[in-house]
Structures are given as structure tokens and as C-alpha cells.
Amino acid sequence: MPARRKSFLEFLSPRRWPQGLLGGGLVLIFLFWTVLHPVPCYGVSLEKVVINEIYIGDSIGSHQWVELYNNSEKEIDLGGWIIDDSGGSTYYQIDQGTKIGSGEYKTFQSGKFYFNPTTPDSVILKDITGKVDRYDYSASVGNLATFCRYPDGSSNWTVCQPTKDSNNILASTTPTPTSTLTSIPTLTPTPTPTPLSTSTPAQGSSLTITATFPSSVKIGESFNVDVQLSNADSNSDYYLKVRLGTDESHLTKGETENNGKWFSDTEGWSNFPRITTDGAGNWTGQLKARIKQGESGGEYKLRVRAHSVEEDKNYDSSVYGLSAEVETPTPTSLLSLTPTVTATPTLTSILSLTFSPSGEILGATEAGEATFSLHLLENEKPEEGTEEEKKTSNSNSSYLWPKVLISLGSALIIGASYPLWLPKLKNIV
């Protein structure tokens, strides 16, 4: 005859409490452990759709446009993606069903773009889960030029002629009577640094390098360096890096960014940005640099170095001066820890037993006796506060449940041992 299944109530009967409470306590402790040590959840990496070209113009309006480029090997659905700037509440959302094929360009033009032409702003591309790509600029490059990746889809940003839905073409830097491209303002609206010394081009070459950058920077923070190469070999490849230091003869305290990674002055040339000059041997673009974290503040020297891939030669710009400051943390940053104190739960005693030194349970506490108490966490209702305090309190309340679980688990385990002390408790009563 098959064994009769026991009901849930029978399982909870006093005769089975030790086993049930012990098992339940262990389960709650396991839940507590998993809450504090969650299994990481790895998402799918973002497809490589990038911002490829941006037209700002000299005013905000419907003439502004953004070109995207698909660097991946498959078609990607852009429906619901957002193109936005760094401020405000208005943004442009791409229509559902819009797709971009592999190696394809897709341009979006709308009156919902509010890219500022005179002050620093950003162009941001987001998919349905978060940010995909972003380009920060200091000011527009005028009506006849765009910000662009060159070559298309690469990590190198420069200035181009407007070319919607087609290959990017570098803006010409050769003066012509019919073109105003030579009057394009520098990307960073700061005074041109005064060279401290003049560089000597390599023998047989008249290549010159000029640089524009902020006159003051912070240690460890990145800044833009606008670079212009002139009179180089036409259609030739060069590596570029920014060198920084306090001594002109030892410029090794800086780092240059390439594809989201930072490289120090002593690393191999293949790690640094690679550019290609136009048919006239010119190139204009931007590098990101920073002084290494941990270096001291003071006066620094800056020099841009170009390395010819074909000739395996180095070419240096003049040496420029700039000042560097060490950022001091503000006292207000410490105040962010204060709201966590208001979310501290209260402890309320639900069980209090008194034992004599010989192990007997007593009904009252006397001299020489030890008291044992079990507490259960209760959530304390927070006082009304500002919206920011409420957000902080809601965030911190997520840490209450692990404490509740471990307390309940401990209570169940202690309760499982009640046969040991219940008879003595009855004798006292």
C-alpha cells in the first residue's frame, strides 16, 4: 500500500517543528546569500552602428542632420532609437521599421535637433537599452563643413565637406578664391597657445604641425587638442600622439586616447591614432589627451609628434605651455552618505529568555544571570522629506530584505531547538 502523503498542516505540527524550522532557516539563509551575491547577467554587446557625420550649421533649425553608418556585417533595426543632444527634453526618435544594412549610410534631418552652434554640446545616439555612440564638440565648424569620421566608421574625427549618405571627404585646407573652408574656426574656442620653442622639420621635408588646446587643464581629466598637419606627403599615413611633461627633454607624463583606450608616450606607435593626409599633404583633426593621474600640478609642456608610416620618421610640433591643476574633492561629496543613516531599521525584541549560570531557565533577571534575546527587524517608516531624500531612501530600502531574511532564518533555526528548553519553561510556569 503506497504511503499516504502528509498535508502541509501536518508538516507544521509541533512534532515536526525542529526539522521544518531548521530546513526553513537554512533556505532563508541561502536566499540571503543569493541576494548579497547575485549571479551576474551579461547582456548582448551593442551592434556597431556609429554616428558618422554631423551637420550643425550656424544656427539651430531643421537644416541640421546626422548621418549613421553600419560597421557590422548584418542589417540592424533602428526602430525606436533616439538621437539627442546633451540638454533639454526634446529628442528625435527613429520610426519603427527603419533598418540600416551592412556598410550602409542613413541620414536623419529634423526640426527636433537642437545642436548648439556657438557653445559646447553633444550629439548622442541611443538604442532601446541605452547609449550607443556620442560625439562632443566645442562649436560648429560653419555652414560649409561637417564633423565626420574619416575614414568612414573609424575612430578618427575630423572636418569634412557635407556628404549625406556617401563616403566622407576631407575639407580642403588649400586657400581658393571661391571657398570659405579656410576660415573654419578652431574646434576649441580658446586662445592659441604661444610656442615656447620652434620645431625643426626632418631633413628633406617641410612638414609642419600646429596645435590648439586649453591653456589650463586638470590632472587626470581628458582635453581636446586640435591638430593641423601641413606640407606633408600627399595621401600618406601618419601616427599621432600628444606628449606632455614638465621638462621639454622628458615629455613622458601624458597619455593619448585611441578607440576608447589610453596609451602612454612610451608605448608602440601602432597603438596611437592613424591618419591619412589629403592630396595636398594636409590634415586637420582632433586628438584627446590627458596628464597621467597622480602627477603633480604646475606648469607643463606639450608637443604633438607625428610618425610617418612609410618613412619611419618622427616630426614634432613646437613646444607649447599649459598649466595643470590637481582636482580637490569638494566637502559636499561626503554628504551623499548621510541619507543612508535615515534608512537604518529599528530592532524590536520578540523573545527574551533568562538563563542562570547552571543553565536553568529563570523567570526574572537577577545578579549573576545571563540574558539571551532574539530580535526581528521591523522597517521604520521614514519621515517626509524632499524628493531627492525619498529617492535615496527608496534606493537604500533594497538593502533591508537581506537583513530580514537572515534574521528570520536565525529565528527558525533557534526555534527548531525548542524541545531542549520548552520543558524547562513549562516547569517554571
**DSSP string for 129-161:** SSEEEEEEESS---TT-EEEESSTTSS-EEEEE
pLDDT digits (tens, 9 = 90+) for 352-407: 444 445 544 454 443 333 333 334 334 444 445 555 455 544 545 555 566 667 77
Q: What integer pLDDT is reported at residue 114 of this predicted model?
A: 87
Return contacts of 378-386, CB within 8 angstroms, 24+ apart.
378/345, 378/346, 378/347, 378/348, 379/345, 380/344, 380/345, 380/346, 382/342, 382/343, 383/342, 385/342
Q: What integer pLDDT is reported at residue 130 of this predicted model?
A: 80
Q: Which of 195-205 are b and which e, b meaning 16 or more Cβ less than 10 Å from the residue's Cβ?
A: eeeebeeeeee
DSSP 95: P
CA 150 – CA 407 distance, rounded (Å): 61
Q: What integer pLDDT is reported at residue 191 of this predicted model?
A: 54
Q: What integer pLDDT is reported at residue 87 of this predicted model?
A: 76
Give the class (CATH, top level) of 49-183: mainly beta
Q: What integer pLDDT is reported at residue 143 of this predicted model?
A: 87
Per-domain boundaries in the chain: 49-183, 195-325, 339-428
CATH architecture of 195-325: Sandwich (2.60)
pLDDT digits (tens, 9 = 90+) for 35-91: 454 433 333 334 589 999 999 998 888 899 999 999 889 999 999 999 998 877 788
CA 300 – CA 245 distance, rounded (Å): 5
CA 369 – CA 387 distance, rounded (Å): 49
> In CATH terms, are 49-183 and 195-325 the same topology?
yes
Whole-prediction pTM value? 0.35
Residues of the chain with pLDDT under 50: 8-9, 11-12, 14, 17, 34-35, 37-46, 174-184, 197-204, 333-338, 340-356, 359-361, 363-383, 388, 392-393, 395
Write phi, then psi, for 256 (nearest 5 degrees): -120, 140
Tell me the CB-side half-sphere exposure of residue 10, using CA atoms within 13 A.
Answer: 4
Burial grade of 9 (CB within 10 A; 0-12, 13-18, 19 or more): exposed
Q: What integer pLDDT is reported at residue 158 of this predicted model?
A: 95
Residues in the chain: 429
